[in-house]
Chains A and B, each alone.
Chain A
């Protein structure tokens, strides 16, 4: 760098000469930022383009809510109903299981554990988030399914009189229940890390005030911590829900994908998942079936896009310090 030795000379404001280089710099940054917009738009355009034939032959309503998928019939029938409902069912099971687990972990890290332990637990939760879903699928299929089938059997024996735990066939493998738990394992780290961050940024003085007024852990959690953090937690849960809906390979190995719709008998060995169905049918699909799979992908994409946008809006509202 050169320094002008004559310091008495009045320096000019330096904005002008650099304007060109800076314009390029900011232009590149802006272009890159808009690229995420472009990517999402391209995804929509190409999926819609490929999906139109399927929508035309099947009809949008029938495609989304009908319950037959038969590529060998004539005319071919591609209807997504059982898969859509199955995805929702599995995600709901996963979220219901994941909520207590992840809030407990977040609470344990922030308010109960000593510092060293809290740090270790945080690392472990992050590590859980880094395990690829196909590894979880392998584990789910060969290690976890037999164990969870035992749990399912216990549930069925004790609560079989409740319709959702009914299972006359007594085959407990590959049910939405097991798929739901595997999905829960995947989304616990998502919900836990957002909840933990919200907890950690809470004003400690409110909590200490509640304790000083004679509150105990439970009343502080119920009356102070949860109400204050609820927005962020809901956002985290929705993000988890979005991830659960799109889960592909892990669910594939632990679920019996069936177009015989399963409305809620979670222990029975049939269920659906849009994402897993796409990957399982893709290999031997003919062109018109591929179009139907594209349409299924489009539906899945719209679904998760809406949920994730709402979720990220809520999370952003709940994390004003990120502004």
Chain B
């Protein structure tokens, strides 16, 4: 009988990591340290009617720092003071970011939900004044415009990004380092510069007036780095054995790529496309400079100004009336929903990849 050797790595037993063990005393004191300051602060707010922010900064934080330092001292001696500080600071700063994000999402959802209705989503904005009540008019034309503009630039960017990623992973090209640096630099390209560039190239030189396709062009430099980088990452994850196997069987490089590598990296490429679209769907500055805005539905990318969600938002904030601000919250919610859908689909797509590889 053949002897089977189990080569799967064994998890380190807990006993081999004595530093990771926590005594019951530590757990108890840590629990107390996290409850008592909060309780005292809440009591202060309830009885003295303090402002929440003031209470948080003046009472909760000092108390929490002292409590954590005390726990640290009880475990590590004097060195523990800094330890306590670190734990409190980490958790405080992290939660601060969550509060900010929560505030963004909550304000958009609550204000946007008040503005959104079927007519807001399906009607266009023709005949609508900034002060018109919200029953009339909406962002229908802007949704279509955004989809068209972003769709057109996706059609150009995805093949370009894919081929760039091929160059970065499948070839022995000498300028890979430079290309990667350029892509990184392009990822940091200010969006307004991209808009100025297309404006200078096509509109200022009189080749065209404001139109949808110039907007699509202005989005390409912003979308390309994301698509190329994520695609590169997913191509890199394809095991070299698959590729080499295909080549060893005599397949030409392009067939090995199209029939072996590409299918293996499919979900990663889908993720790349979704993230790229999510990156540019809310870009405002380039569209303000290149497509401008329109209140009518315009489905022709090649003639006439075109409405889009970000420019709609941009204009309606600028009007500054109550109704127009409400409309801009509604448009913001629509953008956020689109981004969320793209983002979640990207997660799902990359999730299926990791599952398949297990």
Q: Which A residue's beta carbon lies closest to that of B93?
A: A104
A121 and B339 contact, CB distance less than 8 A: no
Q: Which of A75-83, A167-175, A245-253 contacts B (4 or more CB under 8 A)?
A: A245-253
Nearest-Cβ distance from residue B57 to partner chain A, whole angstroms: 8
For the A-B complex, the count of residue pairs with Cβ-Cβ distances under 8 Å equals 278
Given contacts A18-B252, A246-B193, contact A132 B163 (CB under 8 A): no
Q: Which B residue's beta carbon lies closest to that of A211?
A: B19
Nearest-Cβ distance from residue A147 to partner chain B, whole angstroms: 8
- What 8 A-B pairs have minimum CB-CB distances, sorted nearest first? A132-B282, A246-B190, A32-B163, A312-B184, A18-B252, A104-B93, A25-B254, A308-B188
**A window 133-180: CB within 8 A of B:** 133-139, 141-144, 150-151, 154
B182 and A36 contact, CB distance less than 8 A: yes
Taking a contact as CB atoms closer than 8 A, the residue among A107, A127, A154, A212 that contacts B101 in the complex is A127
B83 and A104 contact, CB distance less than 8 A: no
Per the bound structure, the CA–CA distance linking A287 and B161 in Å amounts to: 35
Q: Which A residue's beta carbon lies closest to that of B281?
A: A132
Chain B residue numbers with a CB within 8 Å of A124 are: 98, 101
Given contacts A134-B314, A135-B282, A312-B181, contact A242 B93 (CB under 8 A): no
Chain B residue numbers with a CB within 8 Å of A316 are: 177, 180-181, 184
Total A residues in contact with B, Cβ cutoff 8 Å? 96
Given contacts A134-B282, A208-B17, contact A144 B103 (CB under 8 A): yes
Is the C-beta of B104 less than 8 angstroms from some C-beta in chain A?
A: yes
Give the interface size class of chain B: 35 or more
| A-contact bits for B234-278, CB 8 A (1 contact / 0 none) | 000000000000000010111001000000000000000000001
Nearest-Cβ distance from residue B30 to partner chain A, whole angstroms: 12
Chain B residue numbers with a CB within 8 Å of A47 are: 193, 196-197, 200
Q: Which B residue's beta carbon lies closest to that of A238?
A: B188
A132 and B79 contact, CB distance less than 8 A: no
B332 and A40 contact, CB distance less than 8 A: no
Given contacts A33-B173, A208-B19, A218-B86, contact A307 B252 (CB under 8 A): no
| B-contact bits for A32-49, CB 8 A (1 contact / 0 none) | 111111011011001101
Chain A residue numbers with a CB within 8 Å of B47 are: none
| A-contact bits for B105-129, CB 8 A (1 contact / 0 none) | 0011000000000000000000000
Per the bound structure, the CA–CA distance linking A135 and B339 in Å amounts to: 11
A39 and B224 contact, CB distance less than 8 A: yes
Chain A residue numbers with a CB within 8 Å of B342 are: 130
A32 and B167 contact, CB distance less than 8 A: yes
Chain B residue numbers with a CB within 8 Å of A246 are: 188-193
Q: Which B residue's beta carbon lies closest to that of A151?
A: B53
Is the C-beta of B170 less than 8 angstroms from some C-beta in chain A?
A: yes
Q: Which of A66-74, A264-272, A297-305 contacts B (4 or more CB under 8 A)?
A: A297-305
Chain B residue numbers with a CB within 8 Å of A26 are: 167, 171, 253
Given contacts A25-B253, A100-B89, A300-B190, contact A143 B103 (CB under 8 A): yes
Taking a contact as CB atoms closer than 8 A, the residue among B76, B181, B228, B281 that contacts A309 in the complex is B181
A39 and B186 contact, CB distance less than 8 A: yes
B328 and A128 contact, CB distance less than 8 A: no
Chain B residue numbers with a CB within 8 Å of A116 are: none
Chain B residue numbers with a CB within 8 Å of A33 are: 163-164, 167-168, 173, 175-176, 179
Per the bound structure, the CA–CA distance linking A188 and B104 in Å amounts to: 14
B257 and A25 contact, CB distance less than 8 A: yes
Per the bound structure, the CA–CA distance linking A22 and B257 in Å amounts to: 11
Q: Which of A56-64, A255-263, A275-283 contacts B (4 or more CB under 8 A)?
A: A275-283
Is the C-beta of B349 less than 8 angstroms from some C-beta in chain A?
A: no
Per the bound structure, the CA–CA distance linking A248 and B339 in Å amounts to: 19
Is the C-beta of A206 less than 8 angstroms from some C-beta in chain B?
A: no
Is the C-beta of B8 less than 8 angstroms from some C-beta in chain A?
A: no
Taking a contact as CB atoms closer than 8 A, the residue among A22, A137, A142, A282 that contacts B325 in the complex is A142
A185 and B100 contact, CB distance less than 8 A: yes
Is the C-beta of A202 less than 8 angstroms from some C-beta in chain B?
A: no
A219 and B317 contact, CB distance less than 8 A: no
Taking a contact as CB atoms closer than 8 A, the residue among A49, A128, A137, A312 that contacts B97 in the complex is A128
Per the bound structure, the CA–CA distance linking A10 and B80 in Å amounts to: 74
Nearest-Cβ distance from residue A177 to partner chain B, whole angstroms: 15
**A window 1-41: CB within 8 A of B:** 11, 14, 18, 21-22, 24-26, 28-37, 39-40
B188 and A138 contact, CB distance less than 8 A: no
For A42, A135, A293, the residue with the greatest tally of chain B CB atoms inside 10 Å of its CB is A135
Per the bound structure, the CA–CA distance linking A7 and B86 in Å amounts to: 70
Chain B residue numbers with a CB within 8 Å of A36 are: 164, 179, 182-183, 186, 224-225, 228
Nearest-Cβ distance from residue B185 to partner chain A, whole angstroms: 4
Chain B residue numbers with a CB within 8 Å of A100 are: 89, 93
Per the bound structure, the CA–CA distance linking A243 and B266 in Å amounts to: 30
A32 and B189 contact, CB distance less than 8 A: no
Chain A residue numbers with a CB within 8 Å of B323 are: none
Taking a contact as CB atoms closer than 8 A, the residue among B100, B197, B228, B339 that contacts A132 in the complex is B339
Q: Which A residue's beta carbon lies closest to that of B342?
A: A130
Per the bound structure, the CA–CA distance linking A308 and B104 in Å amounts to: 28
Nearest-Cβ distance from residue A45 to partner chain B, whole angstroms: 9
Per the bound structure, the CA–CA distance linking A249 and B162 in Å amounts to: 30
Given contacts A29-B164, A30-B173, A39-B224, contact A297 B188 (CB under 8 A): no
B190 and A248 contact, CB distance less than 8 A: yes
A105 and B93 contact, CB distance less than 8 A: yes
B189 and A28 contact, CB distance less than 8 A: no
Is the C-beta of B201 less than 8 angstroms from some C-beta in chain A?
A: yes
Chain B residue numbers with a CB within 8 Å of A30 are: 167, 171, 173
Chain B residue numbers with a CB within 8 Å of A24 are: 254
Nearest-Cβ distance from residue A314 to partner chain B, whole angstroms: 11
Per the bound structure, the CA–CA distance linking A295 and B54 in Å amounts to: 46
Per the bound structure, the CA–CA distance linking A293 and B192 in Å amounts to: 11
Chain A residue numbers with a CB within 8 Å of B85 are: 218
B179 and A37 contact, CB distance less than 8 A: yes
